Amino acid sequence: MQPSLFPTPLSQGGQTFTVSKLTFHLRKLLEEDEILQDVWVQGEISNLSRPASGHIYFTLKDANASLKCVMWKTSAARLNLPLRDGMAVEVHGKIGVYEPQGQYQLYADQIRAVGEGALYQEFMRLKAMLEAEGLFDADRKKNIPELPRKIGIVTSATGAALRDMLNTLRRRLPLVEVLLAPSPVQGTEAPPALVKAINMLDDQQLDVIIIARGGGSIEDLWAFNDERVVRTVADAMTPIICGVGHETDFTLCDFAADLRAPTPTAAAELATQITILDLQAEVQTYKARLASSTFNLIAEQKALLSALAAQLRYLSPTRLIQSERQRVDELTRRAFMSIAYRVNLQKNHLEGIQKRLEALSPLAVLARGYAVVTRKDDGGVVSRVAQAKPGQQIRVRVVDGQFDAEVSE
């Protein structure tokens, strides 16, 4: 046999890749697989490493296989489960390839304790069932009163949640009366105890009931997903606020309650929408309205009074007297005028008579040179010769006087 210059090809038509290209090809295959990009993997943690970078490296393994895992620090920061080697967990993430080492690995974004998955499934099943029954319907929700007088609280008598809520209520609305129905809030005895406590408070004519519990793991909060508890919450006559766990925790009681609060403190706040400050402001407003309405009324009365006073002055007899006095003055003036006129008239008349009298006066005849002769002894007028005897004393009257004479012949 002649030795061949070239090795015989193992297969015909096969492509030749560089390592990089092949690795890239593998990576593409894995990353295009939908299952591998959104997967929960169950196993036990080993080789846990948390370097200063903040990323977490570990291997997930079971009896027969192992899987390298990495959790970047952004996801690691959200992790609320303390990890340790040997711990059984379920890790969520996507499969990728670390090319420098030709290593496929799980890029993890969530880790939960084993069993949580089963609980979550149960949670979803129960939620779907109760939802289908209409237990969470919006039209079942009762209004939370703005200003409650009596608030019921169902929670652990010893927890921080109760203290937080009482402090919040004391600060916001100390007028409130709180009726506490203490109940265990976790463990197998919790659900029946919660049911009993809620029913007890529901009979107490309260304005609102708060069901609360501080934060914890999903198992810790599980009593609030118990079907009996959820149904009791949904069926209660009293409006219920549910404040269980933290901001991100949702329980079925949250859906069944009339209002969901992110925390117990928030539940106490939502139960007291009107605070003592609002009430104080309201009283102030009433005081102001009271004062202004009364002052308005008094001002109205004052205005009325002054109008009446003016009217009274107008109608007063003083004014009448003044007007009468004026009339008297007027009449007096007219009387004077009329008298003066009459007097004048008389004066003129008198003058006329005087003139006529003067015209008839014998003195006027004397002025023309005639004289009147009278006897001196008896005063008789001598108008004929026979009436005068010689030697008789006579008096001759001329226009400007008289003189005596003696008849001679």
Which residues are CB-neighbours of 135 under 8 A, at least 6 positions away? Answer: 230, 231, 234, 255, 256
In the complex, what is the shortest distance from the CB of residue 247 to another protein, in angstroms, rounded to a whole number? 24
Question: Under the criterion CB under 8 A, does residue 205 sit at the interface with another protein?
Answer: no
Question: Under the criterion CB under 8 A, does residue 157 sit at the interface with another protein?
Answer: yes
CB count within 10 Å of CB 240 equals 28
Residue 225 backbone dihedrals phi, psi, to 5 degrees: -110, 0
Contact in structure between 252 and 225 (CB atoms under 8 Å):
yes
Amino acid type, 250: F
Read off the tokens for 357. Answer: 């009298």
In the complex, what is the shortest distance from the CB of residue 201 to another protein, in angstroms, rounded to a whole number? 7
At residue 71's C-alpha, the angle toward residues 67 and 75, to 5°, is 145
User: Nearest-CA neighbor of 181 among 161, 207, 205, 209?
Assistant: 209
Binding-site size, another protein (CB under 8 A): 35
Question: Which C-beta is closer to another protein: that of 113 or that of 180?
Answer: 180
Question: Under the criterion CB under 8 A, does residue 370 sit at the interface with another protein?
Answer: no
Considering only 21, 78, 149, 327, the residue that binds another protein (CB under 8 A) is 149
Residues between 260 and 299 that touch another protein (CB under 8 A)? 276, 279-280, 282-283, 286-287, 289-291, 293-294, 297-298
In the complex, what is the shortest distance from the CB of residue 125 to another protein, in angstroms, rounded to a whole number? 34
Question: Which C-beta is closer to another protein: that of 111 or that of 151?
Answer: 151
Question: Under the criterion CB under 8 A, does residue 192 sit at the interface with another protein?
Answer: no
φ/ψ region of 28 (left if φ > 0, alpha if ψ in -120 to 50, else beta) reads alpha
Considering only 67, 113, 200, 382, the residue that binds another protein (CB under 8 A) is 200
Amino acid type, 409: E
Contact in structure between 401 and 370 (CB atoms under 8 Å):
no
Considering only 101, 158, 205, 344, the residue that binds another protein (CB under 8 A) is 158
Strand partners, 373: 396
Question: Under the criterion CB under 8 A, does residue 79 sit at the interface with another protein?
Answer: no
**Contacting positions for another protein (CB under 8 A):** 149, 157-158, 162-163, 166, 169-170, 174-182, 200-201, 204, 276, 279-280, 282-283, 286-287, 289-291, 293-294, 297-298, 301
